[in-house]
Amino acid sequence: MNPEEFCIPVRVYIEDTDAGGIVYYVNYLKFMERARTEWLRRLGYVQSSLLANNIQFVVRATDLRYRQPARIDDELAVTAALEKAGRASMAFHQQVWRSGELLCDGRIQVACVRADTLAPTALPSAVYQAIREGENA
Protein backbone atom coordinates (compact mmCIF):
# COMPACT_ATOMS: atom_id res chain seq x y z
CA MET A 1 0.00 0.00 0.00
CA ASN A 2 1.37 3.40 -1.01
CA PRO A 3 1.43 5.75 2.02
CA GLU A 4 0.39 8.67 -0.24
CA GLU A 5 -2.91 7.03 -1.20
CA PHE A 6 -6.09 8.05 0.55
CA CYS A 7 -7.21 5.20 2.82
CA ILE A 8 -10.18 4.40 5.05
CA PRO A 9 -10.70 1.53 7.49
CA VAL A 10 -13.61 -0.85 6.87
CA ARG A 11 -14.77 -3.64 9.17
CA VAL A 12 -16.45 -6.62 7.51
CA TYR A 13 -19.87 -7.29 9.00
CA ILE A 14 -22.14 -10.28 8.50
CA GLU A 15 -24.29 -8.22 6.10
CA ASP A 16 -21.23 -7.96 3.80
CA THR A 17 -20.80 -11.72 3.50
CA ASP A 18 -22.37 -14.74 1.90
CA ALA A 19 -23.55 -17.79 3.86
CA GLY A 20 -19.93 -18.95 4.16
CA GLY A 21 -18.74 -15.75 5.85
CA ILE A 22 -16.82 -14.55 2.76
CA VAL A 23 -17.34 -11.01 1.46
CA TYR A 24 -19.79 -11.07 -1.44
CA TYR A 25 -17.91 -9.83 -4.52
CA VAL A 26 -20.09 -6.78 -5.20
CA ASN A 27 -19.45 -5.43 -1.70
CA TYR A 28 -15.86 -4.60 -2.63
CA LEU A 29 -17.41 -1.99 -4.94
CA LYS A 30 -19.36 -0.61 -1.98
CA PHE A 31 -16.18 -0.37 0.09
CA MET A 32 -14.47 1.44 -2.79
CA GLU A 33 -17.42 3.81 -3.13
CA ARG A 34 -17.04 4.73 0.54
CA ALA A 35 -13.34 5.46 0.02
CA ARG A 36 -14.05 7.74 -2.96
CA THR A 37 -16.80 9.51 -1.01
CA GLU A 38 -14.45 10.15 1.92
CA TRP A 39 -11.69 11.23 -0.49
CA LEU A 40 -14.08 13.85 -1.88
CA ARG A 41 -15.12 14.87 1.65
CA ARG A 42 -11.45 15.40 2.50
CA LEU A 43 -11.35 17.90 -0.38
CA GLY A 44 -14.25 19.76 1.24
CA TYR A 45 -17.20 18.41 -0.75
CA VAL A 46 -20.03 16.13 0.32
CA GLN A 47 -22.30 14.19 -2.00
CA SER A 48 -25.50 15.65 -0.53
CA SER A 49 -24.36 19.24 -1.19
CA LEU A 50 -23.39 18.40 -4.75
CA LEU A 51 -26.73 16.66 -5.28
CA ALA A 52 -28.53 19.75 -3.97
CA ASN A 53 -26.72 21.63 -6.75
CA ASN A 54 -27.83 19.10 -9.38
CA ILE A 55 -24.43 17.37 -9.55
CA GLN A 56 -24.00 13.63 -9.16
CA PHE A 57 -21.20 11.15 -9.77
CA VAL A 58 -21.94 7.83 -11.45
CA VAL A 59 -19.68 4.86 -12.02
CA ARG A 60 -19.03 4.54 -15.73
CA ALA A 61 -16.72 1.51 -15.78
CA THR A 62 -15.03 -0.93 -13.43
CA ASP A 63 -12.18 -3.38 -13.83
CA LEU A 64 -11.53 -5.41 -10.67
CA ARG A 65 -9.27 -8.31 -9.79
CA TYR A 66 -10.15 -10.44 -6.80
CA ARG A 67 -7.03 -12.01 -5.29
CA GLN A 68 -7.98 -13.31 -1.84
CA PRO A 69 -11.28 -13.34 0.04
CA ALA A 70 -12.08 -11.06 2.95
CA ARG A 71 -14.05 -12.67 5.76
CA ILE A 72 -16.43 -11.67 8.50
CA ASP A 73 -14.79 -9.47 11.18
CA ASP A 74 -11.75 -8.65 9.03
CA GLU A 75 -10.35 -5.15 9.36
CA LEU A 76 -9.68 -3.82 5.88
CA ALA A 77 -7.88 -0.80 4.49
CA VAL A 78 -9.53 0.58 1.34
CA THR A 79 -7.56 3.01 -0.81
CA ALA A 80 -8.50 5.56 -3.45
CA ALA A 81 -5.83 7.07 -5.66
CA LEU A 82 -6.85 9.50 -8.38
CA GLU A 83 -5.11 8.56 -11.60
CA LYS A 84 -6.69 11.08 -13.95
CA ALA A 85 -9.09 14.00 -13.65
CA GLY A 86 -10.86 15.35 -16.70
CA ARG A 87 -13.38 18.16 -16.86
CA ALA A 88 -16.29 15.72 -16.49
CA SER A 89 -14.73 12.48 -15.28
CA MET A 90 -12.21 10.90 -12.94
CA ALA A 91 -10.30 7.63 -12.98
CA PHE A 92 -9.23 5.95 -9.74
CA HIS A 93 -6.98 3.07 -8.84
CA GLN A 94 -8.39 1.39 -5.75
CA GLN A 95 -7.26 -1.43 -3.52
CA VAL A 96 -8.57 -3.43 -0.57
CA TRP A 97 -5.97 -4.68 1.91
CA ARG A 98 -5.99 -6.86 5.02
CA SER A 99 -2.89 -6.75 7.23
CA GLY A 100 -0.59 -5.96 4.31
CA GLU A 101 -2.19 -8.54 1.99
CA LEU A 102 -3.79 -7.24 -1.21
CA LEU A 103 -7.28 -8.74 -1.53
CA CYS A 104 -8.78 -6.79 -4.42
CA ASP A 105 -7.65 -4.05 -6.76
CA GLY A 106 -8.95 -2.30 -9.78
CA ARG A 107 -9.74 0.80 -11.71
CA ILE A 108 -12.98 2.74 -11.43
CA GLN A 109 -14.08 5.42 -13.89
CA VAL A 110 -16.53 7.98 -12.54
CA ALA A 111 -18.50 10.49 -14.62
CA CYS A 112 -20.02 13.77 -13.48
CA VAL A 113 -23.67 14.12 -14.53
CA ARG A 114 -26.63 16.41 -13.97
CA ALA A 115 -28.75 14.76 -11.28
CA ASP A 116 -32.04 15.66 -13.01
CA THR A 117 -31.21 14.29 -16.49
CA LEU A 118 -28.14 12.10 -15.90
CA ALA A 119 -26.55 13.92 -18.86
CA PRO A 120 -22.77 14.38 -18.64
CA THR A 121 -21.69 17.76 -17.32
CA ALA A 122 -18.48 19.44 -16.30
CA LEU A 123 -17.36 19.24 -12.71
CA PRO A 124 -18.12 22.48 -10.86
CA SER A 125 -15.07 24.74 -11.18
CA ALA A 126 -14.38 24.78 -7.44
CA VAL A 127 -14.50 20.97 -7.25
CA TYR A 128 -12.26 20.62 -10.29
CA GLN A 129 -9.77 23.08 -8.79
CA ALA A 130 -9.78 21.26 -5.44
CA ILE A 131 -9.12 17.96 -7.22
CA ARG A 132 -6.26 19.46 -9.23
CA GLU A 133 -4.75 21.00 -6.09
CA GLY A 134 -5.21 17.71 -4.23
CA GLU A 135 -3.28 15.91 -6.98
CA ASN A 136 -0.33 18.22 -6.40
CA ALA A 137 -0.40 18.14 -2.60
Catalytic residue annotation: 18
Contact call for residues 85 and 130 (beta carbons, < 8 A): no
Q: Is 36 exposed, middle or buried (0-12, 13-18, 19+ CB in 10 A)?
A: buried
* Phi, psi (deg, nearest 5) at residue 125: -55, -45
**DSSP per residue over 73-115, as a string?**
T-EEEEEEEEEEE-SSEEEEEEEEEETTEEEEEEEEEEEEEET
Mark out the alpha helices in the chain (DSSP H runs). Answer: 27-42, 47-52, 125-135
